[in-house]
Structure 1
Amino acid sequence: MTAAVSTIVITGAGAGIGRGTALHFAAQGWRVVGLDRDGAALKELGAMLPRGQALTLRCDVGREAAVQRAFARIAAWAPDGIACLVNNAGIADPHSGPLEDLSLKAWQGWIDSSLTAAFLCSRAALPLLRRVAGASVVNVASTRALQSEPDTYAYAAAKGGLCALTHAMAVGLGPAVRVNAVLPGWIETGPWQRADRAHEADHRPIDEAQHPAGRVGTVQDIATTIAWLVSPEAGFVTGQQIVVDGGMTRRMIYAE
């Protein structure tokens, strides 16, 4: 598998980690398919990607029919198959409010946008993944699958489900397809939003000091981790949860 002829599909590609990952892989010579339900963000992404090397499709990846239509287009565009699927889509805001006020509809929104979407896209992508030797799936979860703060019930459940789905898929789809999860911590995505929402980072010294690595994470930190996971160098890595958080989840914090 060589990057120059490989195709990657990224969900939630319009902004944030998805946008940064799409641009990273395009710079490495990959053909990039970006899925997102935000048409304006997708249009911006398409203008950033090399012409003829990218396909952007508006798609709500939590809806079965939409995913089926999108992957029919992808199969026509990349008939030789895809080397990687990155299930990155999800509602970015983790806060749902008190449990007693959390409606089923709101709960389902978090679950569908992340966990259900990963299931639907992985199922649809599987025939294309199996056409490429060394293919892999990367699920973008969160350190909130491992630890929580108040009022983040649905988000935590969705990301925890992604981690469980990861090892189940690794066992069920191997050895043909490797499956791993990346668990980002605090990642600054402000500069990677669409133009009318983009903003520069404004971190306090205490924000940086919370991380043993000495800084808040960047989109590039996640994109390069994904790039390693899908590379031949990670060929013996599957079913794993790779935490990328600057060491924040390993730091003991005491009440003062």
Structure 2
Amino acid sequence: MSVANLRFLITGGARGLGRGLTAWLVQRGHDAYILDADAGELKHTLGTHLPSLKPAAGSAKLGRFEGAECDISNAEQVGEAVRKAAQWHRGGLLDVLVNNAGRANPYWADGRTFEQIDVQEWRTYIDTNLSGAFYVSKAAVPFLKASARGEEEPRGAIVHTSSIRAKQSEPNQEGYASAKAGLLGMTHSMASSLADAQYRIRVNAVLPGWFPTDQESSAGGAWDDGLTKEDHEQHWAGRVGKMEDYAQAVFFMATNGFVTGQEIVVDGGMTRKMVYVE
């Protein structure tokens, strides 16, 4: 597929990994419409952070960017927000959806354990981290299909942001881990459902490991604030993740025309380590 000036819709694009991805894409000439539930961070990202960027090497200018406040756990809000996003893009179409939004803290609130949590907290993880991606995908598919018409190789793609915690756990992460694992099942199921010969929308997942994200907010800060030498060196790659690591993985999954129904782990080798107490 052509990879120039693509039309992206990114959920959770005003903070954390989503903001880092949005900046990386805009610096390379792609157009990005972001959805986020945090009105303050959305205003800062659109009004201050993105306008301050410079084009990446080899790019003549920044891509366009816009966004809207949206609670992705609300299906009605999602439908209207996705329509507005598509209308803003060239031709009223979408090329790539990145489902990144979700409750970021993997642990139950206030240090509670599995036995102490209530049903509502469980639902918060499922409604946002799993159902939200379903709602946005369902609303975006008509616009992704439309962008494929007339293309020699269809360009529509969906990338879900899962987590290495879909594969392994620490205590008291049942809500987060279950939702992120659910995204993997949804990835291969959607890839099968959307493989119609006329459109062939590809669906993949990215599973990030340790990525510091505090700097990707209005508060700012350095990528490695508070990290120790040991934090970095425990990774086979010699460091924790940077925003460009995540962004490059998402872009690969979004643009490689022969990759669908797949998942890629981006964690510096951490989940391949065999660790036993000596």
Match among 137, 143, 160 for residue 158 of structure 2: 137
Distance 1:7-1:13 versus aligned 2 partners, 3 A rule? same
CA deviation string 1:163-205 (max 9, x = no partner): 110000011101520000000011111211222x756522112
Match among 163, 173, 182 for residue 161 of structure 1: 182
TM-score under structure 1 normalisation?
0.94
Distance 1:20 1:192 in 2: 6
Say how many residue pairs are matched: 253
Distance 1:189-1:52 versus aligned 2 partners, 3 A rule? closer
Q: Which residue of structure 2 lines up, in the alignment, with residue 101 of structure 1?
A: 116
Q: Which residue of structure 1 lines up, in the alignment, with residue 50 of structure 2?
A: 49
| SS of equivalent residue, structure 1 residue 217 | coil
TM-aligned CA deviation for residue 209 of structure 1: 2.1
Q: Which residue of structure 1 lines up, in the alignment, with residue 125 of structure 2?
A: 110
| SS of equivalent residue, structure 1 residue 192 | coil
Q: Is the Cα contact below 8 Å between 2:5 and 2:63 reproduced in 1?
A: no
Q: Which residue of structure 2 lines up, in the alignment, with residue 218 of structure 1?
A: 242
5+ residue gaps in structure 2? 52-61, 148-153
Match among 69, 90, 113 for residue 80 of structure 2: 69
Q: Residues 21-40 of structure 1 correspond to what in structure 2 (within 5 A)?
A: 21-40=21-40
Distance 2:221 2:44 in 1: 12
Q: Which residue of structure 2 lines up, in the alignment, with residue 89 of structure 1?
A: 101
Distance 2:177 2:221 in 1: 25
Identity %: 40
CA deviation string 1:52-95 (max 9, x = no partner): 81121000011111101102212321344111000001111100
Q: Is the Cα contact below 8 Å between 1:61 and 1:117 reproduced in 2?
A: yes
| SS of equivalent residue, structure 1 residue 189 | coil
Distance 1:210-1:243 versus aligned 2 partners, 3 A rule? same
CA deviation string 1:219-246 (max 9, x = no partner): 2110111111122xx2111111100000
Q: Is the Cα contact below 8 Å between 1:14 and 1:194 reproduced in 2?
A: no
CA deviation string 1:19-52 (max 9, x = no partner): 0111111111111000000011111111233598
Q: Residues 237-248 of structure 1 correspond to what in structure 2 (within 5 A)?
A: 237-248=259-270
Distance 1:23 1:216 in 2: 20
Distance 1:206-1:134 versus aligned 2 partners, 3 A rule? same
Q: Is the Cα contact below 8 Å between 1:20 and 1:192 reproduced in 2?
A: yes
Q: Is the Cα contact below 8 Å between 1:35 and 1:56 reproduced in 2?
A: yes
Distance 1:102 1:213 in 2: 36
TM-aligned CA deviation for residue 213 of structure 1: 0.9
Q: What code does the residue aligned with 1:19 have?
A: R
TM-aligned CA deviation for residue 159 of structure 1: 0.1
RMSD between aligned residues: 1.6
Q: Is the Cα contact below 8 Å between 1:3 and 1:29 reproduced in 2?
A: no
| SS of equivalent residue, structure 1 residue 114 | helix
CA deviation string 1:119-171 (max 9, x = no partner): 00000000000012311000000000000000100000000000110000011
| SS of equivalent residue, structure 2 residue 261 | coil
Deviates more, 1:186-195 or 1:220-229: 186-195
1:249 matched to 2:263? The reply is: no
Deviates more, 1:66-75 or 1:246-255: 66-75
Q: Is the Cα contact below 8 Å between 2:31 and 2:65 reproduced in 1?
A: yes
Q: What code does the residue aligned with 2:276 have?
A: Y
Q: Is the Cα contact below 8 Å between 1:130 and 1:177 reproduced in 2?
A: yes
Deviates more, 1:204-213 or 1:107-116: 204-213
| SS of equivalent residue, structure 2 residue 115 | helix
Q: Which residue of structure 1 lines up, in the alignment, with residue 136 of structure 2?
A: 121
